[in-house]
Structure 1
């Protein structure tokens, strides 16, 4: 894969900035240092572009994602609390990739839990992002279950109670408890199917 035609700032003193570590560049960036920003861009855009292009299969979309990331980095330079620049940038790209893949999927698959996703820490991996996404999707799917079915499932899977214990607690017959569990599992399997296919596809190209 050849490099895309990104534009960077050329300046003789950038040779000095090239010797700085990321922490020093981030500190200078917070003080509006354009040459520090140019060095961050030059140092990190190519690995970020490769990461996005590999997962999305599109150089054009990957370029847009990386350009948008650096645009935000500059405009919010005084707000960011960046402890490790490389981890921060790679995590930000992964989030944008996931959002991009979601946008390609049927909207109804994600609308119920889109707002529930939490930001990952800077050192997150694709697996951690997928786990958090799955947790959000599961919680959203559970809200679609009837109240009694949802409560039976919660007691069984989250509180690890047995069918007899649930029956006593909710004053239901064992067969009714088993019916609700079967109903919950069937509905969750259907509602999460598209989500799991998407996340497995994403993780499958992560390497």
Structure 2
């Protein structure tokens, strides 16, 4: 997972790296990742007792750090990482506990009902993954996406509401769909028709 921290960022403070990250510096992001991923992984692994689950927490946390780089303010990175890791661990445990109980319930049902509930569970998983993806969109793209896809506003209505041009709305919609396709790559077969329809 780890490699040598990129130069010259290796000597920078966390605060300096966060400032550079806010401007879109991939080098600063890589340096922050190399400096802190092990701490996040170890904490998640101690609580979840699963390497795979801990790696998922690391990936989601740093993906969120990158996607929200221009919209969130972090005073103390250590405190932020501790709180964010704990929050994601709790979310992971809750989600898998609910899924396990639901799966157990499904196994008690007759064949046809089981198939229907398994399909419902798959849809629920997809919906939850889509929501996580939307939450990680850049602020403006997320706002445009929600107005368009959740509130069913037209491009013109969104442009008026956000005081931007229709072309800017279309740009953010295209950007949102592209980012969501990337985030939901594990659900490609199920999601692609949905995204194409939404387009």
How does the TM-score come out when normalised to structure 2?
Answer: 0.47
The structure with the larger Rg is: 1
Answer 1 or 2: which has greater helix percent.
2
Q: Structure 1-normalised TM-score?
A: 0.45
Tell me: higher relative CO, structure 1 or 2? Use CA pairs within 8 A at least 6 residues apart: 1
